[in-house]
Structure 1
Amino acid sequence: MKLGEFAERFGLTIDEKDVSTVSGLILKYADRIPKIGEEIKYKNLKFTILEGTRRKISKVKVKKI
């Protein structure tokens, strides 16, 4: 999902100019492709990886914390 669409849908302000997708944001803060079940935190959000491969993230759960 595009980062701008994600931010708009959830009423968030995300000031990341060097990434364009939610997966890109997760990869930036994880500094690698996270494993299924792994949690990545960004500001007041927690992303839990639900589906993916060694090369990409397919599905995540997002929770405000």
Structure 2
Amino acid sequence: MAGIVGIQASTALDTVYAKGVAGDAVAVMDRFAELRSAIVVMHQAPMISAVLLLVSISERVGH
């Protein structure tokens, strides 16, 4: 589930390709500031997914 959340959050990040923003460094920074929550979720969800995967594997192995 956390992996799906990370993928969905990454699809919300269109800053570099958005019309009116592309090529304008200040506009890109402003757009990224607006998307701060999505950026945090995009990075945290895959890390949580990876940790849960390792926990799941270690439980199956019996450690």
TM-score (norm 1): 0.23
- Which protein, 1 or 2, shows the higher relative CO under an 8 Å CA cutoff with sep ≥ 6? 2
Higher radius of gyration, 1 or 2: 2
Which structure has more strand as a fraction of its residues?
1
Which structure has more helix as a fraction of its residues?
2
TM-score (norm 2): 0.24
